[in-house]
Amino acid sequence: MKNLTKKRGLFAAAAALLVVTVMLGITWCSNDIGSKPDEFTPPAGKGAVMLSFNKDVSRKTIMPGPGSISSIDDFDEFQITFTPAAPTATGTLWDERVDKANLHDAIILDPGTYTLTIVGYIDYDQLLSIPTNTPDLRAEAQTSEPVSVTIAAGTIAHKTVVLRLIMNGTDEGTFRYTLDDDLITPADITSATMTLTPIKNGDTVAPISIKSEFDNTPRPIMLKTGIYDIKFELTVGGDTVTFTHVVHIYKDMISDYTFKIGLNYFNAVFQFGSNEITFNDSDMCPVIEYSTDGTNFTAVPILSPIASPFSRNTVITFRVNPTTDYTANSFEWYCLDNTALTNTSYPPYCTISSNTTTCTIDTTRPAYPTNNPFSAARFYNLTVVGLKGGLKYATIVEYSVTP
């Protein structure tokens, strides 16, 4: 059986397949405190602190979706605790529930060094759009680690804090997956399984048969909060293909994912064989564009073939999007086998730029007996592998050539 292993993580820009993504961090600008916050003077012998909430720069693969938390205003209340820090434990404990209307106020404290922790509460019924007269306040985000704050008499300390959604391995969240049937149906599939393996916290989940589930129906699974490796393995005829991503499950949140694959993936000749490359599951994958004139580039669709086939005798330029925030030390390009393409692989029909960010393929059919392996009328899988810090991140491009 031919094994076409295509293991890769989606990048954050792939909104076409991620139903929605949301940053972990909760954003609030300290300028909202007031027009002239520094004119405030603490009472004699006291100090004060003003808090701001920065965006968390974490970027992951499958994140909580619609109706979850995207800004500090989504919270209803905050439990803010300043605990005098050991070993001197100077200062006085301050532990208050603060609503969002008063979150901008300066907090007056005795001088000393404190450990700050914050827990954000939200009305869970409102999160789910359930009408209710009694709020169901639940802790949904917190400082991931204690924050040190030093208060001096007569001064105002400004502290930036990051709140993160709760992932403690105990509470539950939801993974809701949808198997798209636009390009493939259960009748096309020999077998299909989905496997969730905990990477951090989380549950052990038995493999799930998904052969009959390619029907565009969302299916929720309750899971312990944590980070999971999620693997889709499908067999059509004698060919098997595997896709791997990462899903983050947070307390009370729903992480949505739509999986889409076409039959053309099973027509690929690209495979790693015995030299299979192990890719890292990450959102930091190369963003690929293509052009037939070398000037006007179009983004490559994710997990779908390039819709329009290329006519034979076309020169196609594939490149890593130069404006993406993904950076790698170098790139490798694969197409016909498990050997990285070079300028000497199939001259003059394949050219790799000196900085390895561009692969140009000429589909011209030369006169017999000269052969150009890129000129055959068929489907091709072009894979670019970003190399960074000893890790590898891949994006697969499927395209076709017609006579």
Range list of H helices, 166-290: none
Give the rounded distance of the alpha carbon of 144 from its chain centre. Answer: 19
What pLDDT, on a 0 to 100 scale, did the predictor assign at position 396? 75
Q: 3-class secondary structure for 14-33?
A: CCCCCCCCCCCCCCECHHHH
Q: Write the DSSP assignment of 280-340 as a string of letters.
A: ---S-PPPEEEESSSSS-EEPPTTS--SSPEETT-EEEEEE-TTSS---SEEEEESSSSS-
- In tens, the pLDDT along 310-361 reads 999 999 999 988 766 456 778 888 887 767 899 999 999 999 999 899 999 9
pTM, entire model:
0.53
Mean pLDDT of the chain: 74
Backbone angles phi, psi at 265, to 5 degrees: -60, -25
Q: Which of 244-248, 342-346, 386-390 has the lowest mean pLDDT?
A: 386-390
Q: Which of 87-101, 220-234, 348-362, 387-401 has the lowest mean pLDDT?
A: 387-401
What pLDDT, on a 0 to 100 scale, did the predictor assign at position 69? 59
The tokens for 378 are 């068929």
The tokens for 335 are 């197409």
Q: 3-class secondary structure for 211-222?
A: HHHCCCCCEEEE
Q: Which of 45-54, 261-270, 298-307 has the lowest mean pLDDT?
A: 261-270
Describe the strand order of the beta sheet including 156-161 as a list of residue ranges: 107-109, 47-53, 156-161
Q: Is the pLDDT confidence value at 207 over 60?
A: yes
229 or 239: which leads in pLDDT: 229
Q: What length does the chain have?
A: 403
Which of 338, 324, 320 has the alpha carbon at shortest distance from 395? 320
| Pairing status of strand 112-123 against strand 147-151 | antiparallel
The tokens for 326 are 């993904």
285 or 24: which leads in pLDDT: 285
Q: Are 122 and 69 in contact (CB under 8 A)?
A: yes
Instruction: Give dist(CA 125, CA 224) in Å, integer.
Output: 20
Q: At 54, is the pLDDT very low, low, confident or very high (cuts 50, 70, 90)? A: low
Which residue type sits at 160?
A: T
Domains of the chain in sequence order: 30-165 (2.60.40), 168-259 (2.60.40), 274-403 (2.60.40.3010)
Instruction: Give dist(CA 58, CA 42) in Å, integer.
Output: 36
What pLDDT, on a 0 to 100 scale, did the predictor assign at position 292? 95
Describe the strand order of the beta sheet including 2-5 as a list of residue ranges: 2-5, 239-249, 226-236, 191-201, 208-209
Q: Which of 30-39, 243-252, 368-377 has the lowest mean pLDDT?
A: 30-39
The tokens for 153 are 């008499």
Instruction: Give dist(CA 319, CA 332) in Å, integer.
Output: 12
What pLDDT, on a 0 to 100 scale, did the predictor assign at position 360? 96
Instruction: Give dist(CA 200, CA 125) in Å, integer.
Output: 28
Q: Is the pLDDT confidence value at 174 over 60?
A: yes
Where is 126: in which H helix or E strand? helix 124-127
Q: Is the pLDDT confidence value at 6 over 50?
A: no
Selection from 171-185, 249-263, 268-282, 309-323 with the highest mean pLDDT: 309-323
Q: Is the pLDDT confidence value at 390 over 60?
A: yes
Identify the burial level of 389 via C-beta atoms within 10 angstroms of its C-beta, where 0-12 means exposed, 13-18 middle and 19 or more buried.
Answer: exposed
What pLDDT, on a 0 to 100 scale, did the predictor assign at position 27? 29
What pLDDT, on a 0 to 100 scale, did the predictor assign at position 194? 92
61 or 234: which leads in pLDDT: 234
The tokens for 65 are 């979706």
Q: Is the pLDDT confidence value at 125 over 60?
A: yes
By three-state DSSP, how is residue 82 classified? strand
Instruction: Give dist(CA 379, CA 236) in Å, integer.
Output: 16
**Hey, which residues does 80 pair with through a beta bridge?**
96, 118
379 or 327: which leads in pLDDT: 379
Q: Which of 7-11, 114-118, 228-232 has the lowest mean pLDDT?
A: 7-11
Q: Is the pLDDT confidence value at 279 over 50?
A: no
**Hey, which residues does 314 pair with through a beta bridge?**
none
Describe the strand order of the beta sheet including 288-291 as a list of residue ranges: 298-299, 288-291, 315-320, 358-362, 350-352
What pLDDT, on a 0 to 100 scale, did the predictor assign at position 55? 45
